[in-house]
Structure 1
Amino acid sequence: MARAQFLIPAAVALAGVALSSLFVVDEREKALVLQFGQVKQIKTDPGLGFKLPLIQEVVTYDDRILSLPTNPLEVTPLDDRRLVVDAFARWRIVDLVKFREAVGAGGETIAKSRLDGILNNAIREVLGSVPSTAVLSNDRTPLMNRIRDLSKREAAALGIDVVDVRLTRTDLPTQNLSATYDRMRAEREREAADERARGGEAAQRVRAQAERTVVEVTSEARKEAEIIRGQADAEANRVYAEAYGKDPSFFAFTRALQFYAESMKPGSSSLVTQPDSVYFDYDRFLKSIGETR
């Protein structure tokens, strides 16, 4: 009876010791077995693991790809145009021993702090070697790859692999936005003034060409009109000469009628003469026309 009473507690104690020597690793984790701070076992496969009770402990780490957003960082590219940059990194733990030695008991919290410093230094180094136009362009993939590669090399000492780095925001500092907008506005106004000047110059050329064309066409028309008028006058004189040669009295009669018609047009000059003037004596007037002719 006494022996049974002794065996039961011993069995319970042994069971407790056996259970304390077991540990479970989740498929999303990796584990280290430590003895007095020294790594004694690495458990990377999911499932049960064994450790020495009381003197060994198990520390687990996330085996998934983790993310790390950076705080807004001010950088100065080659053209001394300051920019504010946000980024985030994707990383994972690949060497548990290095990771433990580098961060100690701080684990992922210390790792994120040190990786944040590595990313900031890589961002400053890469973006500081190019002009701001390259940073603000739509295609920043080469720059992000350079930041990733530089961060990967530095983070390898921590047992960390930097999988990817992305620039999420690249803007001007708030205090520089107003000056930048003013400069952009001035540039656009200058371009508009240049366009207006070129348009005015082109309009002036078109206007001058049109005026020249008008003068040329008008001169040519006047020239043709004078030629036609001269030819008509010559023809009229020829007809008048022939008519005079055939019937001088009829010619004098038509000339008198023409003179009366011209002198009596509305709005013509006033005629001041004496009552016994030749103008009112048709026979004498015809004789004077004949003598003039």
Structure 2
Amino acid sequence: MKYAIPVVIILLALLGANGIYAVGQGHAAVLTRFGHVEATDIGPGLHFMLPFVQQVQVYDTRAILQQSEPEDYKTADGDPVRVGYFVRWRIVAPDAWFAATAGDDMQVNQQMTPLIHDALRAQIGKHGLAELLGSDGGAIDEGLRNAVSGDVRRKLGVEVLGIGVERVLPPDETLASVYKRMSAEAATQAGSVRDEGEAAAAAIRAKGEAADGEVLAAAAKQAAAVRGAGDADAARIYATASAQDPQFFRYWSSLETWRKTFSAGGAVVVLDKDSPFMRAIDEGAATGVVGPKSH
């Protein structure tokens, strides 16, 4: 009897130690009894269970990222291509997740992979290799998510948060062929754009030259009109001056002729001292006035 109390205390301590469990932040727990789910979504903190009768399975409530190595697929053109993918998922139905995986996350990956491969094979088969290499994969990603999300949630109790193509790796010989084809298409497109640009430039130049011709013609016409008006004014002034003093006008005209003759320099003119021009200069020097006599 004296050993009964210590034994009871030890048993109670063992039961207490095995009956307390902790759930950390970012995790939750499923409580089962002999393999049957009794409670789900048990949040962070200390909790109690019946030792040896109940079991607890803690799982991660955060998003889990799964990435695959590239595998072989066929494009719509029949070209071989190696494609890798990624998928982000999290547990949203703990009872379905536990029933399908017995609490083993590796089972989620193993059971989800065939579904993704089938959906990815169907999506790759809808696109050509050049399209796969040149696009951002948005259409394929959306098709994958639509094809996989419903089955994964129903069978595994997980929600697909994101899924898509991560790498597209064509074989070397296929890549060379695709590069050549894409280069030819780019060269054709560049030539078309260049031709359009040259045609537009020619049209602009022709329009500019036509405008220049119109401006020059208008300026020449205006200049001719100004010169004509100036010549008319000059002729009128000359006529008026000639009518008022014909002798002076003839004298002034002679001086202008001589001025223009000697203005270039280097001209030599031999005159008789009895010539009218020399007599006019001599008379001007004698009287202090160079010019014709007044009437």
TM-score category (smaller protein): 0.5 to 0.7
Structure 1 counterpart of 2:99: 101
Residues 72 and 85, structure 1, Cα contact 8 Å, conserved in 2: yes
Q: Residues 222-237 of structure 1 correspond to what in structure 2 (within 5 A)?
A: none
Residues 83 and 173, structure 1, Cα contact 8 Å, conserved in 2: yes
Alpha-carbon separation, structure 1, partners of 2:89 and 2:187: 49
Q: Residues 1-293 of structure 1 correspond to what in structure 2 (within 5 A)?
A: 3=2, 5-104=3-102, 107-156=104-153, 157-181=155-179, 187=184
Percentage of matched positions with identical amino acids:
23
Alpha-carbon separation, structure 1, partners of 2:14 and 2:170: 63
Q: Secondary structure at the match of 2:111?
A: helix
Alpha carbons of 1:87 and 1:128: their partners in 2 closer, same or farther (altered >3 Å)?
same
Q: Secondary structure at the match of 2:150?
A: helix
Q: Secondary structure at the match of 1:110?
A: helix
Alpha-carbon separation, structure 2, partners of 1:11 and 1:124: 63
* Long gaps (5+) in structure 1: 199-293
Q: What's the RMSD between the two structures over aligned residues? A: 2.8
Residues 130 and 182, structure 2, Cα contact 8 Å, conserved in 1: no
Alpha-carbon separation, structure 2, partners of 1:141 and 1:48: 44
Which AA in structure 1 matches 2:13?
A
Q: Secondary structure at the match of 1:88?
A: strand
Alpha-carbon separation, structure 1, partners of 2:135 and 2:76: 18
Which AA in structure 1 matches 2:73?
V
Alpha-carbon separation, structure 1, partners of 2:186 and 2:49: 76
Return 26-35 or 126-135, whichever deviates more.
126-135
Alpha-carbon separation, structure 2, partners of 1:160 and 1:82: 32
Superposed CA deviations along residues 234-286 of structure 1, whole A, max 9, x for unmatched, are: xxxxxxxxxxxxxxxxxxxxxxxxxxxxxxxxxxxxxxxxxxxxxxxxxxxxx
Q: Secondary structure at the match of 2:51?
A: coil
Alpha carbons of 1:16 and 1:134: their partners in 2 closer, same or farther (altered >3 Å)?
same
What TM-score do you get using the length of structure 1 for normalisation? 0.58
Return 147-156 or 171-180, whichever deviates more.
171-180
Superposed CA deviations along residues 51-95 of structure 1, whole A, max 9, x for unmatched, are: 111122111111110010012122223222332211111111111
1:133 positional shift:
3.6
Alpha carbons of 1:137 and 1:183: their partners in 2 closer, same or farther (altered >3 Å)?
closer
Number of equivalences: 191
Residues 25 and 43, structure 1, Cα contact 8 Å, conserved in 2: no
